[in-house]
Structure 1
C-alpha cells in the first residue's frame, strides 16, 4: 500500500510556499519526483515523492489551493517540510498549471473537481 501524507498547514515565506506535513511523516531519504496527479474523488492534487524506491503521495487538498494559486501567481517556489527539514518540490508550478488547464472544461475529471478547480484557480 502506498503511503499518503497529508498537509497540516501552509507557511508563506518570501517567494516560497511551504507545506507543513502531518506529525507522522518523515522526509528523510525522500526525493521529489516532479509530477502531480489528480485525485478527483478526494478533490485533491497528489504530488509524487519517492522514498526507498516506493512512491509516497503528498495530498494537496482543496483547503490549501488558495495559497497554491497565490504562490503560482507570484512565481514562488514550493517546499514540503517535516520537523527535521524540507525539500524543494521540483516542477510544482509547471505541473499544477498544466493540470489546471487540462481540467478546465474537461468532464473526465468529474464535475466536482472541475468546479472546485475553476472556483479557485481560474478566477
Structure 2
C-alpha cells in the first residue's frame, strides 16, 4: 500500500514554493522521484517520493492550486516539501505540473470537474 502525505498549505516566498505538510517524517530521508500523477476523484495533483524503496504520494489538493498557479510562472522557482523539522527539494516539479496542466485542459479523460478546475485556476 502506498503511503500518503497531504499538503495542508502552499506558500510562495520570493523564488520558493513551500508545500507544508503535518507529517512528522524526517523529509531528508525521502528521495524525490520527479514524477507526478493526477487524482481526478479527489481533485489533487500527486508528487511521488521514495522512502526505502516504497513510494509515498504527496497529495496537493485543489485548495492549494491558486498559489501553484502563481508560482509556476516564476523563473528559477524552487519547490520544497516542508514540515516543522525539515524540507525536501522536489525536483522536476514545475516541469511535471506544466505538462499535466496542459494535458488536462480540454481532456475529458480526467473528468469534467477536474478539467473545469484546472482550466479555471491555471
TM-score by length of 2: 0.93
Q: Which runs of 4+ in 1 moved over 6 A?
A: none
Question: Structure 2: which 5+ residue stretches go unaligned?
Answer: none
Root mean square deviation of aligned Cα: 1.2
Query: How do 1:34-53 residues align onto structure 2 when only pairs under 5 Å count?
Result: 34-53=34-53
How many angstroms apart in 1 are the aligned matches of 2:92 and 2:51?
Answer: 18
**Partner of 1:80 in structure 2?**
81
How many angstroms apart in 2 are the aligned matches of 1:25 and 1:68?
Answer: 24
How many angstroms apart in 2 are the aligned matches of 1:104 and 1:23?
Answer: 32
For these two proteins, the number of residue pairs brought into alignment is 121
**Partner of 1:22 in structure 2?**
22
TM-score by length of 1: 0.93
Q: Which deviates more from structure 2 when the two are superposed, residues 69-78 or residues 39-48?
A: 69-78
Query: How do 1:1-123 residues align onto structure 2 when only pairs under 5 Å count?
Result: 1-75=1-75, 76-121=77-122
CA-CA distance at 1:25 after TM superposition? 4.1
How many angstroms apart in 1 are the aligned matches of 2:120 and 2:4?
Answer: 26
Q: Which deviates more from structure 2 when the two are superposed, residues 3-12 or residues 94-103?
A: 3-12
Q: Which deviates more from structure 2 when the two are superposed, residues 29-38 or residues 68-77?
A: 68-77
CA-CA distance at 1:17 after TM superposition? 0.7
